[in-house]
Amino acid sequence: MQVLHVVGARPNFMKAAPVLQALSRRPGVVQMLVHTGQHYDANMSGVFFEQLGMPQPDVNLDVGSGSHARQTAEIMLRIEPVLEEQDPDWLVVYGDVNSTVAASLVAAKLGIRIAHVEAGLRSFDLTMPEEINRMVTDRLADLLLTPSADGDENLLIEGVRPERIRRVGNVMIDTLVRLLPRAEAKWPELHDKLELSDTPYALITLHRPSNVDDGATLLPLLEALTAIGEQVRCVFPVHPRTRRRMSDLGIRPGDGVVLTEPMGYLEFLALQRHACMVITDSGGIQEETTFLGGPCLTMRENTERPITVELGTNTLVGRDVDRLKREAAAMLDGGRKHGSLPPLWDGQAGERIADALMEAPSV
């Protein structure tokens, strides 16, 4: 059985690594890894392959940045000859980035079976490009591998046949469980490098266009972070998109917010593990903080991961900067949110995905 994996952005790498490892232990499985190059800078991509123990890609499409239409079209053009030449038994795609939907569109027209890891998640917000990518990929996929019960329910409501759905759990947690000891080993050096004292600190990540592209949104958000930084030190690894907008607008948060370059997975995981709170707009970080038990304030109006709010430690604050400041102050005053571990967040999702691919009827 030949399996071709497509990755393109940092969250994909964390999801693909456990699946690649699990399938490598199955007899008769040949794997190929294609990196579209959607995330292409070393800090955003290259270091992740090294830290996750992933093989270097067999093919790198070197697509780079661009508008959604241009990037999606370029991936489709460049991956089509790869899929035609390899003709794999399975195309495995991950998450909700442009690489995911682009590869799925090409594979579907070539008659190649598609397995979607992290299927069924919905924010019900069609202004988010990722929501469109999820919906289209799930419509095309032959095997829908869901992380939680809400994913199953969403797919059934949309008319997906039950036999195409397999709940496998959260594969990102597999990577977290495996690498947490290595992340902890980096903590002393990281602590000294960032000059973190023994007092609490908050960790910040912001990259979504709805938060960073418009100065009318970004400016008050940075002002709120400055106010929070006057109460607790904040560490802010800045996504290249966010840094560009801050530079273009000539704005930055105050001195209480320490700006750094993007970090590798291990370093960022160590910072999450020890932070008193995380402020983010990332989907994956909502999941990681829930597993780690740390409070998370999410700067989004909705989430495709409602289980992190219902069972976990996540609180949605929208783009209400006054609420952000209130929630942060309450957490610093001891009012942190406590959660529980969602089902199947046990570090074995990669094995269940490998089983599902091996057990699927051949065609």
Within 77-131, strands assigned E span 90-94, 114-117
In the structure encoding, which two tokens stand for residue 49, read together?
């392959």
Q: Which residues are CB-contacts of 126 (< 8 A; sequence separation ≥ 6)? A: 132
- Unique residue bearing structure tokens 């597993």: 291
The rounded distance, in Å, linking the Cα atoms of 297 and 125 is 19
Q: In which element (H, E) is residue 104 found?
A: helix 98-110
Angle between helical axes of 283-292 and 171-193 (0-180°, round to 10): 80
In the structure encoding, which two tokens stand for residue 181, read together?
């000891």
Considering the candidates 5, 35, 207, 274, report the single residue annotated as catalytic: 207
**Can you say whether the dihedral through the CA atoms of 67, 80, 115, 63 is positive or negative?**
negative
Active site residue 207: yes
CA 51 to chain centre: 16
What is the per-residue DSSP string for 121-161?
-----TTSHHHHHHHHHHHH-SEEEESSHHHHHHHHHTT--
Tell me which amino acid residue 160 is: V
What is the per-residue DSSP string for 252-293?
---TTEEEE----HHHHHHHHHH-SEEEE--HHHHHHHHHHT
Q: Which residues are CB-contacts of 108 (< 8 A; sequence separation ≥ 6)? A: 114, 140
Q: Which residues are CB-contacts of 143 (< 8 A; sequence separation ≥ 6)? A: 90, 113, 114, 115, 116, 164, 166, 356, 357, 360
Whole-angstrom Cα Rg for the chain: 20
The rounded distance, in Å, linking the Cα atoms of 297 and 281 is 8
Q: Which residues are CB-contacts of 282 (< 8 A; sequence separation ≥ 6)? A: 205, 207
Give catalytic residue positions: 207
